[in-house]
Amino acid sequence: MTTQDFMWLAIGLAALIIAGGLLYVFVRVGLLLTQTQATLAKADAKLDQFDVPVMKTMDHIGNIADSVDSMVARVDRVTAVAERAAGAVDKATDAASASIAPTVAKIASLIAGVSAGARSFLTRRGKDNGRDNGSN
Protein backbone atom coordinates (compact mmCIF):
# COMPACT_ATOMS: atom_id res chain seq x y z
CA MET A 1 0.00 0.00 0.00
CA THR A 2 1.21 3.37 -0.92
CA THR A 3 0.96 6.67 0.81
CA GLN A 4 -1.69 7.77 -1.59
CA ASP A 5 -3.81 4.76 -0.64
CA PHE A 6 -3.46 5.68 3.03
CA MET A 7 -4.51 9.23 2.21
CA TRP A 8 -7.62 8.02 0.36
CA LEU A 9 -8.35 5.59 3.16
CA ALA A 10 -8.06 8.42 5.75
CA ILE A 11 -10.28 10.69 3.64
CA GLY A 12 -12.87 7.92 3.29
CA LEU A 13 -12.75 7.14 6.99
CA ALA A 14 -13.13 10.86 7.88
CA ALA A 15 -16.09 11.16 5.46
CA LEU A 16 -17.65 8.07 7.05
CA ILE A 17 -17.19 9.55 10.57
CA ILE A 18 -18.65 12.92 9.43
CA ALA A 19 -21.59 11.14 7.78
CA GLY A 20 -22.22 9.14 10.98
CA GLY A 21 -22.10 12.34 13.05
CA LEU A 22 -24.50 14.09 10.69
CA LEU A 23 -26.80 11.04 10.77
CA TYR A 24 -26.82 11.18 14.60
CA VAL A 25 -27.52 14.95 14.61
CA PHE A 26 -30.31 14.64 12.05
CA VAL A 27 -31.95 11.75 13.90
CA ARG A 28 -31.85 13.77 17.15
CA VAL A 29 -33.30 16.85 15.41
CA GLY A 30 -36.05 14.67 13.89
CA LEU A 31 -36.92 13.26 17.32
CA LEU A 32 -36.92 16.77 18.78
CA LEU A 33 -39.25 18.01 16.04
CA THR A 34 -41.55 15.01 16.56
CA GLN A 35 -41.64 15.67 20.30
CA THR A 36 -42.26 19.39 19.65
CA GLN A 37 -45.13 18.54 17.31
CA ALA A 38 -46.70 16.28 19.96
CA THR A 39 -46.33 19.01 22.59
CA LEU A 40 -47.93 21.58 20.28
CA ALA A 41 -50.80 19.18 19.57
CA LYS A 42 -51.40 18.82 23.33
CA ALA A 43 -51.28 22.62 23.77
CA ASP A 44 -53.72 23.02 20.88
CA ALA A 45 -56.09 20.53 22.51
CA LYS A 46 -55.91 22.46 25.79
CA LEU A 47 -56.61 25.74 23.97
CA ASP A 48 -59.61 24.14 22.26
CA GLN A 49 -61.00 23.33 25.72
CA PHE A 50 -60.81 27.02 26.64
CA ASP A 51 -62.58 28.13 23.45
CA VAL A 52 -66.16 27.76 24.72
CA PRO A 53 -65.68 29.44 28.15
CA VAL A 54 -63.68 32.26 26.62
CA MET A 55 -66.34 32.88 23.98
CA LYS A 56 -69.08 32.88 26.65
CA THR A 57 -67.06 35.33 28.71
CA MET A 58 -66.48 37.56 25.70
CA ASP A 59 -70.22 37.53 24.91
CA HIS A 60 -70.98 38.43 28.53
CA ILE A 61 -68.44 41.26 28.44
CA GLY A 62 -69.98 42.48 25.17
CA ASN A 63 -73.44 42.51 26.79
CA ILE A 64 -72.08 44.42 29.78
CA ALA A 65 -70.43 46.94 27.45
CA ASP A 66 -73.73 47.37 25.58
CA SER A 67 -75.56 47.96 28.88
CA VAL A 68 -72.99 50.50 30.00
CA ASP A 69 -73.19 52.20 26.62
CA SER A 70 -76.98 52.49 26.85
CA MET A 71 -76.70 53.83 30.42
CA VAL A 72 -74.19 56.43 29.28
CA ALA A 73 -76.57 57.44 26.49
CA ARG A 74 -79.42 57.81 29.01
CA VAL A 75 -77.24 59.83 31.38
CA ASP A 76 -76.24 62.01 28.43
CA ARG A 77 -79.89 62.64 27.58
CA VAL A 78 -80.72 63.42 31.23
CA THR A 79 -77.76 65.79 31.38
CA ALA A 80 -78.93 67.56 28.24
CA VAL A 81 -82.44 67.93 29.70
CA ALA A 82 -80.99 69.24 32.97
CA GLU A 83 -78.86 71.75 31.05
CA ARG A 84 -81.91 72.97 29.12
CA ALA A 85 -83.90 73.23 32.36
CA ALA A 86 -81.08 75.16 34.02
CA GLY A 87 -80.99 77.50 31.03
CA ALA A 88 -84.75 78.03 31.26
CA VAL A 89 -84.53 78.70 35.01
CA ASP A 90 -81.68 81.14 34.37
CA LYS A 91 -83.74 82.96 31.76
CA ALA A 92 -86.77 83.04 34.07
CA THR A 93 -84.62 84.35 36.92
CA ASP A 94 -83.17 87.06 34.70
CA ALA A 95 -86.66 88.02 33.50
CA ALA A 96 -88.03 88.07 37.05
CA SER A 97 -85.07 90.06 38.28
CA ALA A 98 -85.44 92.52 35.42
CA SER A 99 -89.14 92.99 36.13
CA ILE A 100 -88.87 93.06 39.93
CA ALA A 101 -85.78 95.26 40.26
CA PRO A 102 -87.44 98.48 38.97
CA THR A 103 -90.50 97.83 41.12
CA VAL A 104 -88.35 97.29 44.21
CA ALA A 105 -86.40 100.44 43.40
CA LYS A 106 -89.65 102.41 43.06
CA ILE A 107 -90.99 101.04 46.34
CA ALA A 108 -87.70 101.82 48.08
CA SER A 109 -87.77 105.34 46.66
CA LEU A 110 -91.37 105.78 47.78
CA ILE A 111 -90.57 104.57 51.30
CA ALA A 112 -87.51 106.80 51.43
CA GLY A 113 -89.59 109.79 50.27
CA VAL A 114 -92.39 109.10 52.75
CA SER A 115 -89.83 108.58 55.51
CA ALA A 116 -88.04 111.84 54.64
CA GLY A 117 -91.35 113.71 54.46
CA ALA A 118 -92.56 112.29 57.79
CA ARG A 119 -89.22 113.09 59.41
CA SER A 120 -89.36 116.60 58.07
CA PHE A 121 -92.98 117.07 59.14
CA LEU A 122 -92.54 115.57 62.60
CA THR A 123 -89.28 117.42 63.26
CA ARG A 124 -90.83 120.79 62.38
CA ARG A 125 -93.96 120.12 64.40
CA GLY A 126 -91.95 119.09 67.40
CA LYS A 127 -90.02 122.36 67.34
CA ASP A 128 -93.18 124.40 66.83
CA ASN A 129 -94.86 122.77 69.80
CA GLY A 130 -92.00 123.64 72.11
CA ARG A 131 -91.74 127.34 71.02
CA ASP A 132 -93.52 130.12 72.64
CA ASN A 133 -95.49 132.19 70.12
CA GLY A 134 -95.91 135.11 72.52
CA SER A 135 -99.65 134.84 72.60
CA ASN A 136 -99.76 134.26 76.31
Compute how many other C-beta atoms are within 10 angstroms of the C-beta atom of residue 67.
10
Binning pLDDT at 50, 70 and 90, where does residue 93 land? confident
Q: Is pLDDT above 50 for 35?
A: yes
Tell me the residue range of the domain where 24 lies: 8-124
Distance CA 126, CA 80 (A): 66
Has residue 3 been placed in a domain? no
Alpha helices in the chain (DSSP H): 3-130
Q: What is the pLDDT of residues 119-128, one digit of tens each?
A: 888 886 555 5
Sign of CA pseudo-dihedral 28, 31, 33, 35: negative
- The predicted pLDDT at position 104 comes to 79
pLDDT (0 to 100) of residue 37: 93
Q: How confident is the model at residue 132 (pLDDT cuts 50, 70, 90)?
A: low
The verdict on residue 136 lying in a domain is no
Q: How many domains does the chain have?
A: 1
Distance CA 82, CA 67 (A): 22
pTM: 0.41
Residue 131 inside a domain? The answer is no
